[in-house]
Amino acid sequence: MFDIDWNPIIFSIGTLEVRWYGVMVVLAVITVIGFSLLEAKRKGFSQDMVWDVGLWAVIGGIIGARLLHIIDKWGYYINNPEQILNFAGLAIWGAVLGGLAAILIYCLVKRLSFWQLGDIAAPGAILGQAVGRVGCLINGCCYGLTCELPIAVIYQNPSSYAPQGVPLYPTQLFHLVWNVIGFAILWALRKRLKPDGSLFLIWLIFFGAGDFIIRFFRETEAFLFNLPQAQLLDILIVAAAAVTLAVRFIQYRRVKPAEEAPDINKSGQNPEG
C-alpha cells in the first residue's frame, strides 16, 4: 500500500486556497490547446482559430462542469444556496459537454465543421483529462472504495478530500492510465480515420467506457436506476457516439469519391498490382 501525505494546498490567503488541483487543471487546458495547435497546423487550419475556440471551450467547460455538479448534488445545494457560486466541485462530463456545446456554437457562428474541429481537439482532450487526474490524485477527490490489495493508497494529509488512514482503490490512477492509453490510440489513428469526426467519436466512446467501469470502484451516490449520474451519462453518450460513428461511416462508404477507390480495370485487377 502507498501513503499519500502531499499537502493538496500550495498556499492560502485568508479563506482563499490555491490547490495543486487548480494548477493541474490549468496544465490540462494548456495540454489540450498545445496538441490542438499541432493538429491544426498539420491539417492546414488557422492556429488563431484554435485560440479562439479554445477560449470558448474553456468558458463552456467550466460552466458545464459546475452546473452538472450542482445538479448531481442538488440535495446539498438546495439547503446551502450560498455555495452554488463556490467552484469547489466540478463534474468531468459537465466539462466535456459544456466545452462541446461552446465549440458547436462557435462552429455555427463561424460556419466551420464541428466534426473537423472535434478531430483536431480529441487527442489533446483525452491527454488533458489524464493531466487533470494528477490533480485529483493529489487533491484526494474522486477517491475509490475501501481496498485491501497492495495497490491501495492511504491518504494522510488532513487537507485531502479523501478519508484519512483508510486504504482505498487508486481510482484517480485508473482514470489517468486509461486516458493515457486512449491518447496513444487516438494519436496513432489520427491520420487514418475517415470520415471527419471519427476520431472525436472514438474519444467519446473510449473515455465513456473506461469511466463507466472505473466508477464501480469509486465512492459515488446513486442518482437514477441505482447508478450515479456520471455512469448514466457514460451509457447515453457511448451509445449515441457509437450509433453516430456507425451511421457516418456507412454514409461515407456510400458517397466515397471515386478517386479514393482503387483503380480497377475491367478485368477486376488492380493495374498497379
Amino acid identity for residue 179 in this structure: N
CB contact set of 199 (below 8 Å; sequence gap of 6+)? 118, 119, 122, 123, 186, 189, 190, 193
Residue 264 in domain: no
Residue 268 lies in a domain: no
For the chain, list residues with pLDDT below 50. Answer: 258-273
**Quick one: pLDDT at residue 76?**
66
The reported pLDDT for the residue numbered 268 is 39
| Predicted pLDDT of residue 112 | 87
Residue 224 inside a domain? The answer is yes
Within-domain flag for 76: yes
How many whole angstroms from its chain centre is CA 171?
15
Question: Which structural domain range is residue 120 located in?
Answer: 2-255
pLDDT at 257: 56
Is 273 within the bounds of a domain?
Answer: no
Structurally, the chain folds into a number of domains equal to 1
Cell of 80: 446551502
The reply to whether 266 falls in a domain is: no
Q: What is the DSSP letter of 163?
A: P
- Structure-block grid coordinates of residue 82: 450560498
Residue 128 lies in a domain: yes
Spatial contact of 81 and 74, defined as CB atoms under 8 Å apart: no
pTM (predicted TM-score) = 0.83
- Residues 34, 40, 45, 50, CA torsion sign: negative
Nearest to 4 by CA among 152, 185, 154, 184: 154
Domain assignment present for 271 = no
